[in-house]
Amino acid sequence: PGMMGGQGGMGPGMMGGQGGMGPGMMGDQGLLLLLDEQQQRDMLDIRKKYRDTQIERMSKMMDMRDEMMLLMNQPTPDPDAVKSLHVRMAELHGDMMADRIRMQNEIHGLLTEEQRQQLQQGMSQP
């Protein structure tokens, strides 16, 4: 619960579609090299499926950050309002992270056993 607090704007930005941010996945560029053409298309379709929801959530998160800034800039901020907003932000952030993992799992499901091993080897190198 407390991990959300000090991060400010850092957390949810990772939800973009750029590579490399998710746990357990090498960057999308590296992953694309392992995939054949059909798998690449399937991967892009999976990413597209999640994109609209994630963009909508990121927009909501920005609105809530603005709201938090206004609350915190009051001469005497309302602790209950801050807590309530923080809970909503944490829940939204959790939803975003869960969908990111769902998307990664779907993409991982496209891989053959051989590709999974190559991916593992690629991740274990410095």
Q: What is the pLDDT of residues 6-62, one digit of tens each?
A: 434 444 444 444 443 444 444 666 777 888 999 999 999 999 999 999 999 999 999
Report d(CA 21, CA 31) in Å as an integer: 13
Flag whether pLDDT at 73 surpasses 50: yes
Which residues span the domain enclosing 77? 52-125
How many CB atoms sit inside 10 A of residue 9's CB?
Answer: 9
Domain assignment present for residue 5? The answer is: no
Domain assignment present for residue 94? The answer is: yes
Domain assignment present for residue 47? The answer is: no
Domain assignment present for residue 23? The answer is: no
Domain count, the chain: 1
Its pTM stands at: 0.67
Domain assignment present for residue 34? The answer is: no
Here the contacts of 24-33 (C-beta below 8 Å, separation 24 or greater) are 24/104, 24/123, 25/104, 25/107, 25/108, 25/119, 26/119, 26/122, 26/123, 30/122, 31/107, 31/119
- Helices 37-72 and 79-108 pack at an angle, to 10 degrees, of 180
